[in-house]
Amino acid sequence: MKICIYGAGSIGCYLGGRLAAAGANVDFIVRPKIQQQLQQYGLIVSDYLGEKNIVPASKLQLSTDPNIAAQADIIFVCVKSAATEQAAHELKEILKKNTIIISFQNGLSNVGILKQVLSEHTILEGMVPFNVAALGNGVFHQGTEGALHVKKHVGLNELVAAFHNAQLELKLEKDMQAIQWAKLLLNLNNSINALSQLPLKQQLSIRAYRQCLAMAQIEALSLLKIAKIQPAQLTAIPAHLVPYVLKLPNSIFTLLSKKMLAIDPLARSSMADDLMAGRATETDWINGEVVRLATQLNLKAPINQKLIELIKQAEIKPKAWSAEILKNQLEMVAGS
């Protein structure tokens, strides 16, 4: 089985690196900057439990040429959401018909875009639950826990075995919509973390920031209830109870949420990384999914809409928002 990582950024390099270190046949389609880094340092993948694997540069199959994907049996699409349509058109020109494509991307819209362009191919939803930080010099670090999820398909037995060999759990699911919405509810913290300019663990230790996240989640959950969508339970706490736990005083929250706080002290959200690097964020595919659901229901999502606006402003001019000021901003739009 040949696996191709199409868009080897933080997630792509981490998943591909774990698989390659365990002996899987993995091609990486990378940007020239990442190619240069990996050719110099190799690929080092580590996690918050102390696991560390090194794939020497001589063992890495790296290319900037998308045509390499034509050789793959399974492709992981890991590009940023804004680049999904372009990636789909590139793949359409080169793929063989029996290739399985898995979208390991944020949000819920990417698979629909891929299916629209690649109508003759098998496109499956995937979900990465954990945070991966690019630490430089070829190091990609998993900062939080969780099992990978992919839409159930008969052609994935060998892939499940490959992930098992790499000591990564991969679960096959019938209902990926429930899984994706559950992940998105957690990802609503990405914008808040980015606006705080703090590491995740520090940000989540501050009650007012958690209250901001709770407001965004409650808004999303109310829309999901109207749409009759039941998010899956990805954490020890059911999705509909998470906002109420987030709002608890620090002492009680810390006792109830040890797993939620089992985060590397330096880990940040991918959106925070994008802002720090001067890149466009994926807020339109995270908070934007809530706004789109509201529009479909002829309703509004003012809290998530406000977070989008603040992130868009931060893309132009970065600004650290204190917890209380950000909370006041969200409360103002919630009550308007």
Structure tokens at 38: 């990996």
Structure tokens at 328: 């006041």
Distances (CA, A) of 66 to 60, 70, 88, 92: 16, 8, 11, 11
Angle at which helix 323-334 crosses helix 302-316, to 10 degrees, equals 130
| DSSP class of 320 | P
Read off the amino acid at residue 172.
L
pLDDT of residue 49: 84
Read off the amino acid at residue 9.
G
- pLDDT beneath 50, residues of the chain: none
Phi-psi region of 70 (alpha: psi -120 to 50; beta: other; left: phi over 0): alpha
pLDDT of residue 1: 93
pLDDT of residue 261: 67
List, for residues 253-283, the tens digit of each pLDDT value. 988 777 666 677 777 888 998 998 899 999 9
pLDDT of residue 235: 84
pLDDT of residue 156: 96
pLDDT of residue 259: 66
